[in-house]
Amino acid sequence: MNLKFLFIIFFTFFYNKAFGFEKFNLNDIDPNENIIVEDMFEPLKVTGDALPWELFGKTKEVEDCTIDKDGFDYCLIKPIYDHKIKKYNGETVTIMGYMFPLEESEKQRKFLIGPYPLSCPFHYHVGPSQVIEIKSNNPINFSFDPITIKGKLKIEFNEETGSFFYLETIKS
């Protein structure tokens, strides 16, 4: 019998088991594990006078595409700010969230803050409406725990960084 034919038969019937591919069934997860997974995706519940993350999340993200002079597509995600967040532009506010470092040091002068803990060392896994870029004159020690920071909120889109919000720190 042809060896090629035998290989095809074997591969057809045993491919999934041989290479570890099995159908995943959500019902096979223990209910206690399911609760833990769902909890991982809850945004930080802020306390005190900190602005709630839901307020920032009301900012709509729209894709704006153009063609540059060389004929290449150039697309940006731009904000449409909700009127409820616009009223805080230029105001001193308190923000509570998780740090995402942008510098290679224990102390950070420029970093991102958002409602979810770090899950990847390369980028934050949320859209720009859920991230605030922090600029601090005084370095702040990096922490995996939520921090509370106070500063002047600037609501403006930066095409270069893609940031929708900035906070110039006063106190951390």
73 and 34 in a common domain: no
139 and 62 in a common domain: yes
Expressed as residue numbers, the domain containing 135 is 53-171
- Is the entire prediction scored with pTM above 0.85? no
pLDDT at 19: 54
- Count of the separate structural domains present in the chain: 2
81 and 159 in a common domain: yes
121 and 67 in a common domain: yes
73-82 mean pLDDT:
93
CATH number of the domain where residue 110 is located: 2.40.50
Find all residues with CB under 8 Å of 148, minimum gap 6, and list them. Answer: 48, 50, 94, 95, 96, 172
60 and 137 in a common domain: yes
Beta strands in 54-146 (DSSP E): 60-67, 73-80, 92-101, 107-114, 132-141
CA distances for 144 relative to 12, 37, 100, angstroms:
47, 19, 9
Mode of pairing for the β-strands spanning 165-171 and 132-141 = parallel
Q: Is 35 helix (H, G, I), strand (E, B) or coil?
A: helix
CA distances for 168 relative to 44, 92, 96, 121, angstroms:
21, 9, 14, 24
55 pLDDT band (50/70/90 cuts)? very high
36 and 8 in a common domain: yes
33 and 74 in a common domain: no
> Within a domain: residue 47?
no
133 - beta bridge partners? 112, 166
Please check the confidence at residue 26 and state whether its pLDDT lies above 80.
no
102 and 33 in a common domain: no
Find all residues with CB under 8 Å of 172, minimum gap 6, and list them. Answer: 136, 138, 140, 147, 148, 149, 150
32 and 64 in a common domain: no
Cα–Cα distance for residue pair 13/143, rounded to 1 Å: 51
pLDDT at 170: 74
Lowest-pLDDT range, 15-29, 60-74, 90-104, 133-147?
15-29
DSSP-H helix ranges across the chain: 3-18, 31-40, 53-57, 83-86
> Within a domain: residue 141?
yes
37 pLDDT band (50/70/90 cuts)? very low
Question: pLDDT of 81-126, one tens digit each?
Answer: 999 999 999 999 999 999 999 988 999 999 999 999 887 777 777 8
Mean of all residue pLDDT scores within the chain:
83
Please check the confidence at residue 147 and state whether its pLDDT lies above 60.
yes
> Within a domain: residue 128?
yes
Cα–Cα distance for residue pair 128/161, rounded to 1 Å: 10
> Within a domain: residue 119?
yes
149 and 84 in a common domain: yes
41 or 118, which is more confident? Answer: 118
